[in-house]
Amino acid sequence: MEAETPLSTQPLTTEIQRLHQQALDLLDADPVQGLEILQQVFQLAGNHPTADPNLQAELAGCTITRGRLHLKNAAYTAALSDFQTAMQEFERLGKNCEKALARSYYGIGCAHMGDFADALEHLFQALKEVQELGDQLLTAEITNDICYTYVLLGQPELAIPHLHEAVQTLRALNEPMRLSWALDSLAMAYLHTGEPRRALEYETEAIQIAENIQTWQDQAVYLNNIGEIYLAQGDDSAALSAYQRALSVARRHNLTAEIAITLLNLGKLHTERGHYDAAEKDLNEALLLAQQTRRQPQVMEAYHALADLYEKSGKPAAALEMYKKYHAVFQTIYDQEADRRIKHLQVLHQLETLRRETEAFQKQALELQRKVEEQQRNQVKLEKLARTDSLTQSLNRRALFDTGQAAFQEARKTGQPLTLIMFDLDNFKEINDHYGHLVGDQVLTILVERIRHRLRSSDTLARYGGEEFTIIMPGITLEQGLRMAERVRGAVAESPIRIGGNRLNVTISLGVATASPPHFPHTFKELLRRADQALYAAKNSGRNCVKAFEG
């Protein structure tokens, strides 16, 4: 039998380019299938090794795409590994623009993981590199990425000047598609700084551009975003119209991911308006699409929205079932990502150490010291921002899990009890609907501050999500925790909140769960789940009460 004749470089490159484009086309529609296609690419390349620099550059581009697909699936450490590999490969090939692009994606991955110091460091380095190369388009794109990071960081006001600069550049370059991206980002930045009118102006222009150049996926995204802007203005009808238009565009062009996202938005809006049948129909279709395309973050969001729907529509058993499914998907994503991150951290640490040692030999000691000190100052500031809820100044969800896990391990080690109190504001939706979201935010801020003053210095108050908060109390038994919860409940109920000319009588519901020998849960997340169930029982018992977990 004759040996198999290897593919010549050109047909191999053509085939890899074809498969790469297929994977890119699936970036939003089905990222898991996109990853499967890229697996074929790397298998094909491994079977036909070549020194052709053009093919190697194409494979490095495939590595970036694989990282982007991992980002879509919330596999952040796998994404960082791919972007790091692509950076090194493009540097070896002398392709500096592509290296800067890979670096910018690495920065975005860091931002998704909450490592904002590294994110901004890499993004600004990428920006500097493309500016030195004179690439105005990449300059505008990376500027947009920097601004996205500022929004994730909770500082959208820092993004606005950069976005105006990017918009001006893209207008001058006559780049309508990228201009629409920048306008959309600018609109979202203004929305998050509390200026929905200005947001509406820029989002409207982005929608019009997308329609003119027929970039239908972008148009569907922008229509969903303008729906969010209308909601911020309190115009539910305009939001509904925008979502329905987005759904029409997405269905007409078979944009599966955007169909699912739009149905989620419609379902949530129908829930808030009390149209429960319509909400259930839209949310179940969104869930099915998310499951079919294997987009776990959307699956998780759909379960959470269905749980909220069933709770509001008086179906507690169905709501509890959806909450269980939501937590199961959340735990799967969280645990998988934690395992990947632990394995990957050692490699990243070695690479970072090597990079810093190389810089130390290349730069003068004084300049290096100045940069290190400046970075340390910024790191401290960013770490505090990354762990703090911007509205209430309590710890955020990420910090809750970090702090709670540490307290849980310490309690297990010492044999001391650990108690969690989970509470949320009763009828918070009615406050928002009647007085507006700004008053609602003020109520949360005042409420949290009052409760904080009643806690010990060793207790930790964190925002779990929305109007739901958690208190971590080391060394406190269940009985002590119940007494503390009752004191907090009574203090809130007996002290109306005054905002402007309004006197608001507010109450809270609280759930208490304790980890103590010999019945210690396996994980902190299990203890948190118990407190959540106790809170759910309190809500079902008429609100304004305290319930303990009964396992």
Query: Catalytic amino acids?
Result: 467
User: Cβ distance 373 to 366 under 8 Å?
Assistant: no
Two tokens, residue 215 = 């970039």
Pairing of strands 468-474, 502-504: unpaired
Two tokens, residue 65 = 């795409």
CA-wise closest residue to 47 among 18, 12, 21, 85: 12
Helices (H), 31-95: 31-47, 53-72, 76-93
Q: How many other CB atoms are found less than 10 A from the CB of residue 507?
A: 15
DSSP of 120-169: HHHHHHHHHHHHHHT-HHHHHHHHHHHHHHHHHTT-HHHHHHHHHHHHHH
Helix (H, G, I), strand (E, B) or coil at 50: coil
Q: What is the CA radius of gyration of the chain?
A: 26
Residue 123 backbone phi and psi in degrees, to 5: -65, -45
Cα-to-chain-centroid distance, residue 494: 37
- AA letter at 287: L
Residue 287's Cβ-count burial label (10 Å; 0-12, 13-18, 19+) is: buried
Two tokens, residue 121 = 């460091």
DSSP 523: S
- 347-356 long-range Cβ contacts below 8 angstroms, 24+ apart: 347/81, 348/80, 348/84, 351/84
DSSP 214: T
Pairing of strands 508-515, 418-425: antiparallel
d(CA 515, CA 526): 10
